[in-house]
A = this chain, B = another copy of it.
Amino acid sequence: MVPGLKIDEDSDVPVYRQIVDGVRAALAEGRLLPGGKLPPTRELARQLGVNRNTVVAAYEALAAEGLVTSHTGRGTFATEPAEPSSEAGSAAFLAGGEWLTSFSRAVEGPGVAGLLSVYRAAMSSDGISFAGSYPAAELMPVERFRSALDAVLRRRGAEVLSYGPTSGYPALREAIAADMRSKGSSAAAEGILVTNGSQQAVELVFRTMLDRGDPVVIEEPTYTGALSVLSSLGARIVGVPVDEEGIRPDLLALALERHRPRVVYVQPTFHNPTTHVMGEVRRLEVLSLASRFGCAVVEDDWASDLRFEGADLPTLHAMDGGRRVVYISTFSKKLLPGLRVGWVAAPPAVLERLVALKQIEDHGSSPLLQAALHEFLADGGLAEHLDRVRPAYRERRDIMLNALKRRLPDGVVWARPEGGLFLWVTLPVGIDSTDLFVAARERQVLISRGELFHADGSGRETFRLTYASVRPAQIETGIAVLGELIHERWGGRSENAARRVDEAVPIL
């Protein structure tokens, strides 16, 4: 159906990439015309003898590139040129680049395509999105942040519009360190590096510590963005299952003994995606194991300020005195993602190298946004904002829990998080969350499918639902759609629910 498209099974080029290249070539050579319809993913998968998800990934990459457009219910079409003014550009855009056929291993790992597809799914503004772990846009302190920016520009405009120190705006580093100290950490401003969101912090930390082929221990499942970084670095991923208290210490000990990694990456509080919180005893066990095996613990603490119930627990960084723990956090989830401000606190030998790599990657983050954020924090803006969003998120969580209970069959289970932005759902046997994702997307409801949080493509019995950024009425509507779709697929086969318990994966 795409003339000339063939898959070479012996090629080193990933299959989805062969499909992308084949469609691009068909377009460039006029075998596929603008406006022409591409075969449905299921059909092309059958024709080529490949997994349907491979075709889905290829179509998503083509859509990202602007070469195809998907219309819900109608199918996927080769994009028509948009405007006459950019026609010449589009032609060159389509025709160019075929000469360059090989790239670095950093961009050819399997996790690279996965990240883009989950991101695009989450960004879609049509319909109801439970994908993406975003804070509520309508609760953002826009006015107050505008004032902070304005004040900073009036007071020290040229300074903050110039280059700043690579490690970060000094007053912001001090404010971050002071906040960490108020939570029991022994943090000093000189031990903080400001990054472009916690994604860059995760990337810099792993890149500073891992060479291609080096082992790294992660929780299974874990944050998609961490998996993508590890894929780009060619790290050898050793997944250790989590239970309701976080990473399992018995299996962690085995993994450390066997693989001797330099780094263990954990999210002790409101773990993404399971929402589990590591208990204090478990935290001590993890630190003790890390000490015994001489490895660093990377603590990704993106959500602990978003607790709306229950008691705070000390961070690993606070418990350890910052000796063995590299601590990562961000203002994206608790405040404003568009600032792109996160940070890492690390011991000096690590920090020195992180700053060097930050300098190499982008010469430092914008002093303007850092200065405005400092102004906002100094003025008490964050505390006020948290007072506003925490009850709102609790309310949305309750609305979602209530809707799930009413709309979903008994075999479906989920946890009740005490903070953060989302829920984690486990399906009964026989329902595949990737199928559910595709079906729900047709109904304009987006979820985060479980396999995105696993390095090995497992986790298809799970998915993640964000409540924080969805308005209450939409939560109700969206969960109703999911309920219908699950009922359609599963009917009342309640015996399966029991079977799931026997086959329980460690995350349950």
Interface of A toward B, CB cutoff 8 Å? 20-21, 24, 61, 64-67, 85-86, 88-107, 112-113, 115-116, 119, 123, 132, 134, 137-138, 140, 142-143, 145-146, 149-150, 153-154, 157-167, 177-178, 181, 185-191, 195-197, 199-200, 203, 207-212, 214, 225, 228-229, 232, 262, 294, 296, 321-324, 332, 336-340, 346-353, 355-357, 359-369
Rounded to whole Å, the gap between the CB of A15 and the closest CB of chain B is 16
Closest-CB distance, A407 to chain B (whole angstroms): 28
* A363 near B98: Cβ-Cβ < 8 Å: no
CB distance from A282 to the nearest CB of B (A): 22
Do residues B337 and A104 form an inter-chain contact, with CB atoms below 8 A?
Answer: no
Could you tell me if A161 and B177 are in contact, using CB atoms closer than 8 angstroms? no
Given contact pairs A61-B352, A65-B352, A89-B177, a sample of 15 additional A-B residue pairs in the complex whose CB atoms are under 8 Å apart = A65-B351, A66-B190, A97-B349, A103-B350, A104-B210, A107-B356, A116-B355, A116-B356, A116-B359, A119-B359, A140-B157, A143-B157, A149-B153, A199-B361, A340-B364
A186: B residues at CB distance < 8 A = 88-89, 91-93
Q: Is the CB of A232 within 8 A of B89?
A: no
- Whether the pair B64, A360 counts as a contact (CB closer than 8 A) is no
When distances are taken between beta carbons in the complex, the residues of chain B under 8 Å from A228 are 359-360
- Residue in B106, B188, B296 whose beta carbon sits within 8 Å of that of A100 in the complex: B296
Closest Cβ neighbor of A88 among chain B residues: B186
Known contacts: A322-B96, A360-B229, A368-B339. The answer to whether A211 contacts B113 by CB under 8 A is: no
Given A89-B187, A364-B340, A102 and B203 contact (CB-CB distance below 8 Å): no
Q: Which residue of B lies closest to A230 (CB)?
A: B360
Give the residue among A150, A177, A191 with the most B Cβ atoms within 10 A. A191
Residues on B with beta carbons closer than 8 Å to the beta carbon of A113: 356
Chief secondary structure at chain A's binding surface: helix
- Taking CB atoms, residues of chain B closer than 8 Å to A164 are 338
Chain B residues, Cβ within 8 Å of A119 = 166, 359, 363
The residue that A362 contacts in the complex, of B92, B105, B196, with Cβ under 8 A, is B196
Q: Does the CB pair A96–B338 fall under 8 Å?
A: no
Q: What is the total number of copies of this protein in its complex?
A: 2
Q: What's the Cα separation between A164 and B90 when bound, in Å? A: 23
What B residues does A368 contact at CB under 8 A?
338-339, 369
Task: List the B side residues contacting A96 at CB < 8 Å.
Answer: 321-324, 347-348
Bound CA–CA A355/B119 (angstroms): 12
Chain B residues positioned under 8 Å from A355 (CB to CB): 64, 116
Task: Provide the bound-state CA to CA distance between A364 and B167, in Å.
Answer: 19
Question: Is the Cβ of A363 less than 8 Å from the Cβ of B350?
Answer: no
Given known pairs A106-B357, A191-B89, A296-B100, the reply for A145 and B161 (CB within 8 Å) is: yes
Q: Would you call A93 and B348 a contact (CB within 8 A)?
A: yes
Given A338-B161, A352-B61, A199 and B347 contact (CB-CB distance below 8 Å)? no
CA distance A149 to B371 in the complex (A): 15
9 contacts between A and B (CB under 8 A): A65-B351, A88-B181, A92-B191, A93-B186, A100-B296, A107-B207, A112-B356, A116-B356, A162-B338
Q: Does B89 contact A132, Cβ atoms closer than 8 Å? A: no
Distance to closest chain B CB from A247 (angstroms): 21
Which B residues touch A99, using CB under 8 A?
294, 323-324
Separation of A166 and B197 alpha carbons in the complex (Å): 13
Whether the Cβ atoms of B162 and A103 lie closer than 8 Å is no
Contact residues in B for A24 (Cβ distance below 8 Å): 348-349
Give me the 7 closest cross-chain CB pairs, A-B, nearest first.
A97-B347, A89-B188, A142-B157, A96-B347, A196-B362, A161-B338, A66-B190
How long is the Cα–Cα vector from A349 to B28 in the complex, in angstroms?
13
Q: Which of A21, A61, A157 has the most CB of B within 10 A?
A: A157
Instruction: Tell me the bound Cα distance from A338 to B195 in angstroms.
Output: 14
A187 to B149, CA, bound (A): 33
Residue of B nearest to A166 (CB): B119
C-alpha gap A452/B197 in the complex (Å): 30
* A20 CB to nearest chain B CB (Å): 8
Is B158's CB under 8 angstroms from A138's CB? yes
- Contact status B199-A363, CB under 8 Å: yes
Please determine whether A208 and B106 come into contact, CB atoms closer than 8 angstroms: yes
With both chains docked as a complex, state the minimum distance between the C-beta of A296 and any C-beta of chain B, in angstroms. 6
| B-chain residues with CB within 8 Å of residue A189 when the two chains form the complex | 86, 89
